C-alpha cells in the first residue's frame, strides 16, 4: 500500500508517491525582496556570493535576495497558487517583500520590511517553484526550468547559476551594471550521518555511520531567439555514499549490505530550454506532483529512496529518472506533458532487512525455517531499463491560476511503484538464494488538485481515482502467508491546511482517506475463500508537521508525526530534530525517530519494533563560481 494507494506503507515498502519524501521537517519561511516586474510576471533570481549551495545536487535549496533592475512599485496583491503550494496573499501597506517557503537548512535571505505574501514549497506542479526553489515570483519554474518565460532584466535561473547577461546584480540599487558572472557553477555538500539504536535487545547499537557526497555542475545562459526571450540550462549532478556501520558482517546479511553499504548514481542530468511560452527538457530529472506535503496520491513520477523511512534526509528521497518534458504557458493556463523513459523501482530494504515491513510477516507465517538465515532479495518486474516502450510512463496536467487559488487536472498511464508481491515456488524454495518477485503492473490514474489561500492559511486538496489497479490480497482462512492479486478501482482524497503566522513559524495538517471498490473483505465472493487486502489501503492517515526558527534564524526545531489507522490502530512514526547553523557553510543536526506498530494488523511499520534511534549529523556546503 502507499499513501497514494491509501496507506503510508506504500512509502515504506516500495518506491512511489506516498511521500515520505515529503514527510520532511516543515520548511522554514523567509522574507525575500521582490523580483523585477516585466509584464504580468517576473522571472529568475540572483544569488549573493555568500549563498550556500543546494542541499542536494541538482535542486538548489537556497533562499535568495534580489533587487529590481528597474524601479517599479510592488503590486498591492499578487496571486500564484500552484501545486507547489505556492500562494500569494495581500501585501500589507508599505510591504515590498515576498515570503518564500524554503527548506529549513537554507540560509536566510535579505529581510524585507514586513511579512507579506508568497509561500513556496515544492514544485509539485512543475510550473512553479520546486522544493527548495529560489523563485519568489512563481515563474522561475522547477529545476528543469518549467516556469515563466525569460524577461528582460532576468537575474539568472532558479538553480542559481548567476545573473543573465546585462542583468543587475543583487547588490546594485542604482542600476549600474556589475561584472558579468560566469555561466558555469560548481556546488555540493559533504555530510556525516550517524544513528544509534535506543531499544533494548538490539544486536548492535550503531545503526549508521554514513558519509555522503553530492556534486552539481551547472551551466545557464539567457539569450534572444527569433525575437523571443530564451534560456538554456544544463545540469549534471551525482550522489555517492558509504556506510561504515555495514562492515559489521555478523549483524547484517548480504542483501542488506548490498543495499546499504554504498551507493553511487547520477542524480539530475539534463538539458532544458525555455523559449517564449514553451518549456522543453530532456534527461534525468525530478518532477514533483500534487499538493500533499506528506501524504500525496499524485506524486508518482519519481521513485524514492525508502531504505530508512522518516530518517532519510528529504533532499535525498526523490530519485531522478530519464524523462522528456514539454510545457506550454498561455496566460493563466499551463499545460505540461511528461514521458518517463526509464523503469526504476527505487531503493528499498531487502525482504528481511530491519526496515522491511514484510520481514516479520515472512518469519511468523510458517516460513521461519524457509527464509530464516537465507539470502532473500526482491526481483523487480520489469527490471530497471531505459527506452523500453512497454515500460514507458505518461503524465499530463492542465492548470488554471486564479486570484489566490489554482486548479489542476492530472492524468497518467503509470507503472505501480508499490508492486504486487509473489512468493517463491516450491522448486525455487530449494535454492540457496531466494527471490520474491515484485511486479509493477500498469494502471490509469486520473486526478484533481488545488490550493486556496485565505490570510495566514493555505488550503490544499487532492482527489484521485486509480482505474483497475492490480492489488495484492491475502487468504484469511489459513495462518500461512498465501498471496494473490486482483484488480480494483480505488479512490483517494487528501485535504490539508498549512498555517503561517509569521516568517519563523509554520505548521500543517493533512488527512488522506481511500476507498476500494469491491473490497473482498466487504464483498466476499460466493464459494470463494475469504480474502482481504494485504495493505491497509482504506485506513485513514493523518500527518502533522511544524517548524519554528529562533535565535536569529540560527536554530530550527522541526516536528513530524504520521498516524495510520485510528480504529483499528495500524502504525505511528514520529521525528523531532534540531538544526543548528554553526556558520554559513556548516550546520549540526540532532534528532530522534520513534516507531510504533500494531501487533496484529499488518502495515508499513509492522516490522519496525526495534528501530527507534538517535540521529546526529554534520553538514558542509560549498560552492565554486
Quick check: helix, strand or coil at residue 575? strand
Residue at 207 is within a domain: yes
Q: Which of 33-47, 381-395, 550-564 has the lowest mean pLDDT?
A: 33-47
The residue assigned the cell 512563481 is 138
Residue at 233 is within a domain: yes
Residue % of the chain over a pLDDT of 90: 51
Residue at 146 is within a domain: yes
DSSP 8-state assignment for residue 91: P
Cell of 34: 521582490
* Residue 292: pLDDT band with limits 50, 70, 90: very high
The whole domain housing 242 covers 9-171+180-444
Residue at 88 is within a domain: yes
- Per-residue model confidence as pLDDT tens digits over 74-85: 333 333 333 433
Mean per-residue pLDDT over the chain, rounded: 76
Number of domains, the chain: 1
Among residues 589, 18, 599, 3, the alpha carbon closest in space to that of 311 is found at 589
- Whole-model pTM: value is 0.74
* Mean pLDDT on 11-33: 38
Residue at 120 is within a domain: yes
Give me the helices (H) in 408-459, please: none
- Whether the bond between 382 and the residue before it is cis, its omega within 30 degrees of 0, is yes
Residues in the chain: 625
Residue at 591 is within a domain: no
Cell of 441: 503492473
| Residues 81 and 404: beta-carbon distance below 8 Å | yes
* Mean pLDDT on 98-123: 35
Look at residue 350 and tell me whether its pLDDT is greater than 80.
yes
Cell of 519: 473490497
Residue at 450 is within a domain: no
Dihedral over Cα of 320, 326, 330, 335: its sign: negative
- Per-residue model confidence as pLDDT tens digits over 251-261: 888 999 999 99
Residue at 84 is within a domain: yes
- Per-residue model confidence as pLDDT tens digits over 58-78: 343 333 333 333 333 333 333
Beta-sheet pairing, 433-439 with 375-381: parallel
Quick check: helix, strand or coil at residue 434? strand
- Per-residue model confidence as pLDDT tens digits over 118-129: 343 333 323 333
Among residues 220, 227, 100, the alpha carbon closest in space to that of 163 is found at 220
Amino acid at each position: 500500500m502507499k499513501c497514494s494507494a491509501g496507506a503510508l506503507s506504500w512509502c515504506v515498502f516500495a518506491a512511489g508517491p506516498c511521500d515520505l519524501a515529503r514527510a520532511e521537517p516543515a520548511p522554514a519561511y523567509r522574507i525575500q525582496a521582490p523580483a523585477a516586474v516585466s509584464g504580468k510576471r517576473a522571472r529568475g533570481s540572483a544569488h549573493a556570493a555568500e549563498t550556500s549551495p543546494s542541499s542536494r545536487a541538482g535542486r538548489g535549496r537556497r533562499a535568495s535576495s534580489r533587487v529590481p533592475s528597474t524601479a517599479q512599485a510592488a503590486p498591492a496583491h499578487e496571486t500564484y497558487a500552484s501545486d507547489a503550494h505556492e500562494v500569494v496573499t495581500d501585501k500589507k501597506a508599505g510591504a515590498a517583500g515576498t515570503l518564500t517557503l524554503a527548506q529549513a537548512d537554507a540560509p536566510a535571505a535579505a529581510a524585507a520590511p514586513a511579512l507579506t505574501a508568497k509561500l513556496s514549497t515544492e514544485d509539485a506542479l512543475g510550473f512553479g517553484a520546486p522544493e527548495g526553489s529560489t523563485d519568489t515570483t512563481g515563474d522561475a519554474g522547477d529545476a528543469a526550468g518549467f516556469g515563466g518565460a525569460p524577461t528582460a532584466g532576468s537575474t539568472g535561473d532558479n538553480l542559481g547559476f548567476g545573473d543573465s547577461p546585462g542583468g543587475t546584480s543583487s547588490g546594485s540599487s542604482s542600476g549600474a551594471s556589475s561584472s558579468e558572472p560566469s555561466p558555469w557553477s560548481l556546488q555540493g555538500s559533504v555530510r556525516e550521518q550517524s544513528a544509534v539504536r535506543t531499544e533494548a535487545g538490539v544486536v548492535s547499537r550503531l545503526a549508521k555511520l554514513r558519509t555522503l557526497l553530492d556534486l552539481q555542475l551547472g551551466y545557464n545562459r539567457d539569450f534572444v531567439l527569433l525575437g523571443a526571450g530564451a534560456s538554456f540550462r544544463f545540469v549534471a549532478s551525482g550522489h555517492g555514499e558509504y556506510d561504515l556501520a555495514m562492515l559489521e558482517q555478523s549483524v547484517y546479511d548480504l542483501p542488506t549490505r548490498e543495499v546499504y553499504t554504498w551507493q553511487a548514481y547520477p542524480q539530475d542530468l539534463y538539458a532544458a530550454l525555455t523559449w517564449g511560452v514553451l518549456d522543453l527538457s530532456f534527461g534525468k530529472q525530478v518532477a514533483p506532483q500534487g499538493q500533499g506535503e506528506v501524504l500525496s496520491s499524485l506524486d508518482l513520477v519519481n521513485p524514492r529512496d525508502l531504505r530508512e523511512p522518516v530518517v532519510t534526509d528529504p533532499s535525498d528521497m526523490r530519485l531522478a529518472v530519464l524523462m522528456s518534458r514539454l510545457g506550454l504557458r498561455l496566460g493563466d493556463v499551463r499545460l505540461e506533458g511528461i514521458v518517463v523513459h526509464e523503469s526504476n523501482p527505487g531503493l528499498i530494504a531487502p525482504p528481511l532487512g530491519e526496515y522491511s515491513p514484510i520481514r516479520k510477516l515472512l518469519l511468523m507465517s510458517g516460513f521461519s525455517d524457509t527464509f530464516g538465515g537465507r539470502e532473500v532479495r526482491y526481483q523487480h518486474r520489469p527490471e530497471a531499463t531505459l527506452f523500453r516502450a512497454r515500460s514507458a510512463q505518461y503524465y499530463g496536467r492542465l492548470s488554471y491560476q486564479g486570484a489566490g487559488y489554482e486548479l489542476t487536472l492530472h492524468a497518467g498511464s503509470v507503472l505501480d511503484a508499490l508492486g504486487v508481491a509473489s512468493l517463491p515456488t516450491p522448486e525455487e524454495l530449494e535454492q540457496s538464494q531466494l527471490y520474491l518477485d515484485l511486479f509493477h503492473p500498469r494502471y490509469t490514474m486520473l486526478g484533481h488538485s488545488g490550493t486556496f489561500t485565505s490570510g495566514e492559511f493555505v488550503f490544499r486538496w487532492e482527489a484521485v481515482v486509480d482505474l483497475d489497479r492490480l492489488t495484492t490480497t491475502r487468504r484469511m482462512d489459513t495462518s500461512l502467508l498465501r498471496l494473490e492479486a486482483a484488480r480494483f478501482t480505488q479512490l483517494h482524497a487528501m485535504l490539508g491546511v498549512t498555517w503561517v503566522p509569521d516568517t519563523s513559524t509554520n505548521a500543517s495538517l493533512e488527512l488522506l482517506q481511500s476507498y476500494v471498490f469491491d473490497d473482498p473483505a466487504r464483498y466476499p465472493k460466493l464459494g470463494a475463500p475469504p480474502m482481504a487486502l494485504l495493505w491497509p489501503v482504506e485506513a485513514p492517515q493523518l500527518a502533522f508537521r511544524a517548524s519554528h526558527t529562533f535565535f536569529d534564524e540560527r536554530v530550527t526545531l522541526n516536528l513530524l508525526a504520521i498516524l495510520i489507522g485510528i480504529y483499528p490502530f495500524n502504525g505511528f512514526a514520529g521525528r523531532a530534530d534540531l538544526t543548528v547553523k554553526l556558520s554559513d557553510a556548516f550546520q549540526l543536526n540532532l534528532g530522534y525517530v520513534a516507531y510504533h506498530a500494531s501487533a496484529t494488523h499488518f502495515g508499513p511499520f509492522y516490522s519496525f519494533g526495534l528501530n527507534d534511534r538517535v540521529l546526529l549529523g554534520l553538514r558542509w556546503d560549498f560552492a565554486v563560481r
